Amino acid sequence: MDLEEKDKGVIAVILKRFETERLPKVKKLQAKVDAGGVLDEYDIDFLEQVFDDAHQVMDVVKRHPEYSKLAKGILQMYNEIMAKSQANSN
């Protein structure tokens, strides 16, 4: 299997995971902080795992810049949730 085929498989898995697992959880976290809540330990663990995973797929995104805007937007969403939670805790 060449690198291009491997990348296609990795991208498909990442997008499916985001759609079925990560995005629903992110929407719940966004609603939580929008309502004035703060992230708990489990929420923060989830976001830390997402950031760790993001670092692992950066090479694929670099090879496929058509996904860079999407990746940046997703990470920005997570950062906004963290920032809003921190603001809510003050």
77/87 Cα distance (integer angstroms): 15
pLDDT digit string (tens) for the chain, length 90 residues: 798 899 999 999 999 999 999 999 999 999 999 999 999 999 999 998 988 888 888 889 999 999 999 888 988 999 999 999 999 998
Provide the domain limits for residue 28.
3-88
DSSP 8-state class, residue 67? G
DSSP 8-state class, residue 21? I
Count of domains in the chain?
A: 1
Question: 71-86: per-residue pLDDT in tens?
Answer: 889 889 999 999 999 9
CB within 8 A of 22, min separation 6: which ones?
50
pLDDT for the residue 81:
95
